[in-house]
Amino acid sequence: MASKLEALERWVNEVAARTRPAKIHWCDGSEAEYQQLVKEMLADGTLIELNQQTHPGCYLHRSNPSDVARVEHLTFVCHKNEEDAGPNNHWMDPAEAHAKIDALFDGCMEGRTMYVIPYCMGPIGSPLSRCGVEITDSPYVVANMRIMTRMGKAAQERIEREGTFVRGLHSTGELDPERRFIMHFPEERTIKSYGSGYGGNALLGKKCHALRIACNQARDEGWLAEHMLIVGIENPQGETRYIAAAFPSACGKTNLAMLIPPEGYRRDGWKVWTVGDDICWMRPGEDGRLYAINPEAGFFGVAPGTSTATNSNALQSISRDTIFTNVAVTADNQPWWEGLPGTPVTDWQGRPYDPANGPAAHPNSRFTVSAKQCPTWSEKAEDAQGVPIDAIVFGGRRPSLLPLVMEARDWAHGVLMGAAMGSETTAAATGAVGVLRRDSMAMKPFCGYHYGDYFAHWLSFDQPGMNLPKIFHVNWFRKGKDGRFLWPGFGENLRVLEWMINRVEGKARGVETPVGIVPAEGELKLDGLNLPREAATELLDIDTAGWQAELDAIGAYLDTFGTRLPERLRQEQRRVASGLSADTAPRAATA
């Protein structure tokens, strides 16, 4: 296939000379191409056909048991200057990294097809979108990239018009954990991944491009590439407010993106619209507001825990035309994982199911599906200009201290909230209770440069003429003295989002505390909710002594970023700490 873009053709030829594939296929993204790939993968066992009566167009992929998750310790960010990578990344000198991984690529595609995948992250016609090309020897990667990105002919045409693209080179290699690296070269806008077929390591448009490389692009070009969902909340008057929210893993991100309003809210006419469940690119508009797109076209979701009770919208989304990875199957060949009805007969490795071997579905088993199949999918996800963001929400899993919701007093305070966020471990997960892991803006595994510089970039948006979103922090996971969650969560979280929207619209006054603004009495709508008054009070309680210790810990965390920490963020930490010292009397806000 002839390409007008010489730089792309030259790079493809260079890669082919190194990897020596049997043939080269330029992907056009068509349905016919996808069906041919599926046919070939069914023939060689890469895919297994699932029950086409219950799950039409659905297939199962079983990955190598040593290749089932992202590998942070083998993921490198290769800035020319080690300091630019920061303490939040593993660094390798770019020349050394290229040499190390290029040696692995030598001849690795012999006997295989080399696929050239032009793709666009975001709507094809959006000025906020950015393009890339992934070269891979995995047809499974091609099939997933077709679902997750705008892939094929239209993307290639945009690349030829613009002349720029992120380069991604991938090979599954031998799937040897000892010969596995995921390398990022931010200055070169290049990614090289070898030895893994797992999504986060192999679908290079996702975390590698849309976060680690894109956040470098965003810093250079004046926008934000964030690990955030985007959700629209439509009130009974038909007005929609858009919220972007960042949470570490296991904090209900996908559930919030596809939230189902409580019965009373549904009856009153509230609706929730899903724009994105994982990644958000935000850029200032001419009116000073931040406008956001979801750069992805699909969901790469965790299957276990997805059920009618927890997220029926996600479950409906994956009833057809879905690629499942490492789930179990039932006797009649339906996909299965813990939380679903039915009984598995074959586990994720293809063995007869035996509880002694562990869970039937791998805990990180996945589904890949087009976002358009979600019942709450918003057509605004295809809007070239993006949606205006009214509120940014940070959150973590904290059993105590952090209230259900609080609002930052200004942008700098909000950046501090995001920088300080994190989750506490549980005994079930790690054997150690209450170990707090900071995960600033939920970007710890994905921020492709020094966190200190990243915080400075966030702060740089606070300029005259900007009409920035309000920033909030939520904690759905606060527990009472009996160890049970105080807040029911799931759809009931809409009550908290409604308060945020009321704050945005000037309809709620809130109560100022040294750590943020919390709902005033009666502002959090609790009717129809069986929530004892003492629980409502405890959810919003501000423990001054506990917060003083927290601010000291936040200060120590910020110290780890050394001289690159913005002084303004340090001043903000001191301001909040000083406010707490002046506020020695315990206080509680009531709902």
Single-letter residue type at 106: D
Question: Which residues are documented as binding site?
Answer: 70, 198-200, 207, 227, 249-255, 278, 364-366, 397, 490-493
Q: Which of 149, 180, 164 is nearest to 371 (CA)?
A: 149
Rounded-to-integer distance, Cα 448 and Cα 227, Å? 12
Q: Are 478 and 403 in contact (CB under 8 A)?
A: yes
Q: Which residues are annotated as a binding site for Mn(2+)?
A: 207, 227, 278
What are residue 298's DSSP bridge partners? 370
Residue set of the binding site for GTP = 250-255, 366, 397, 490-493
Sequence-separated (6 or more) residues with CB below 8 Å from residue 587: 513, 542, 544
Q: Which parts are annotated binding residues for substrate?
A: 70, 198-200, 249, 364-366
pTM of the model: 0.96
Tokens linked to 181: 């690296």
Distance of alpha carbon 590 from alpha carbon 379, whole angstroms: 39
Catalytic hit among 215, 251, 280, 374: 251
**CB of 254 closer than 8 Å to CB of 301:** yes
Residue 430: predicted pLDDT: 40
CA atoms within 13 A on the CB side of 258: 26
520 vs 203, 509, 517, 539, CA distance in Å? 46, 7, 9, 13
d(CA 449, CA 443): 11
Task: Say if CB 225 and CB 246 are below 8 A apart.
Answer: no
Per-residue pLDDT of the chain (591 residues; tens, 9 = 90+): 444 589 999 999 999 999 999 999 999 999 999 999 999 999 999 999 999 999 999 999 999 999 998 899 999 999 999 999 999 999 999 999 999 999 999 999 999 999 999 999 999 999 999 999 999 999 999 999 999 999 999 999 999 999 999 999 999 999 999 999 999 999 999 999 999 999 999 999 999 999 999 999 999 999 999 999 999 999 999 999 999 999 988 788 999 999 999 999 999 999 999 999 999 999 999 999 999 999 999 999 999 989 999 899 999 999 999 999 999 999 999 999 999 999 999 999 999 999 999 999 999 999 999 999 999 999 999 999 999 999 999 999 999 999 999 999 999 999 999 999 999 875 444 446 668 999 999 999 999 999 999 999 999 999 999 999 999 999 999 999 999 999 999 999 999 999 999 999 999 999 999 999 999 999 999 999 999 999 999 999 999 999 999 999 999 999 999 999 999 999 999 999 999 998 864 444 445
All domains in the chain, ordered by first residue: 6-48+61-222 (3.40.449.10), 226-296+381-588 (3.90.228.20)
Which two tokens mark 329? 């199957």
pLDDT score of 586: 46
Strand bridging mode 190-194 / 166-171: parallel
State the pLDDT at residue 367: 97
* CA dist list (Å): 37 to 100, 141, 248: 31, 11, 35
pLDDT of residue 250: 76
251 is catalytic: yes
**pLDDT of res. 433:** 60
pLDDT at 5: 81
Q: How far apart are CA 252 and CA 254, in angstroms?
A: 6
CA nearest 47: which of 327, 300, 296? 327
